[in-house]
Amino acid sequence: MNQINREDMLELTRRMTLKRNCFDRIAGAYLDREGFVDGTFNKNFRQLSLPDQQKNLDIAKTIPFSETNVALKEYVFSGEEKKPGSVWQLLCALRECELKNDALLDIFYEVFGEKYPASGDYAVYFFHGNYDVPRKAKDKESLWESEEVYRFLICAVCPVSGDYEPGMPVCGFMFPAFKDRGPDNGRIQVFEADPARPHRDFLNLILPVSAYIL
């Protein structure tokens, strides 16, 4: 069984601060417990106020900063799960458009609202990020030369209260997986705040056919 490399995740989180922010866009939807969308937003991340940037960075960072191979696990998409019309295809399209296509986002929110069993109102947050992956020398010290760009999405599902005030994520994912310090489009890293009580319906939404851990 392959494992998520903890150092890889920490490498990403070091780019999730106000001074070293890797995110350029944030989008999301607020849904009621029945799965109906109450409102959506789609903004340039860097145009948010600094307090709002920090609040949202804390939400996004929760996924890669969580305990690897316990709260954050890696799954592979089967060939069946990559067929046209699949969630995998939708995630690829959302990453390709850098979250700028509201029609694609609306499809995800609609599908999600239909299948996710919620106990209360909640929000689905999407973040789009770019990370210039630096090369590393044999001694593992960074050479600060970009080897490739890791373009990725983070999705966080958060309970909301009051005037759409989000709590911390209860589940979410990072796509594509950050594997061997680069993107792996055939894998996804899924977060569960409480691994002892996983959101099976959430996992079945992302990997509906035959999810298995590598």
φ, ψ dihedrals at 203, nearest 5°: -65, -40
Q: Which of 28-32, 146-150, 160-164, 175-179 has the lowest mean pLDDT?
A: 146-150
- Interval 66-91: pLDDT, tens: 999 999 999 999 888 888 888 999 99
**Rounded mean pLDDT, 9-13:** 94
| Average pLDDT value for the chain | 89
CB neighbour burial string for 125-153, b if at least 16 within 10 angstroms, e if fewer: bbbbbebebeeeeeeeeeeeeeeeebebb
Q: pLDDT at position 143, please? A: 52
Hunting for tokens 């145009």 — which residue is that? 47
Q: Residue 37 and residue 114: Cα distance in Å, rounded? A: 10
Query: Distance of CA 44 to CAs 20, 27, 98, 118, 200, Å?
Result: 16, 9, 11, 28, 32
Residue 213 pLDDT class (50, 70, 90 cuts): very low
pTM of the full structure: 0.91
Are β-strands 182-184 and 177-179 bridged in parallel, bridged antiparallel, or unpaired? antiparallel
Q: What tokens does 202 get?
A: 């959430």
Residue 211 pLDDT class (50, 70, 90 cuts): very low
Q: Which of 23, 12, 16, 25 is nearest to 134 (CA)?
A: 12
Q: pLDDT at position 210, please? A: 39
Name the strand (E) or helix (H) holding 128: strand 122-136
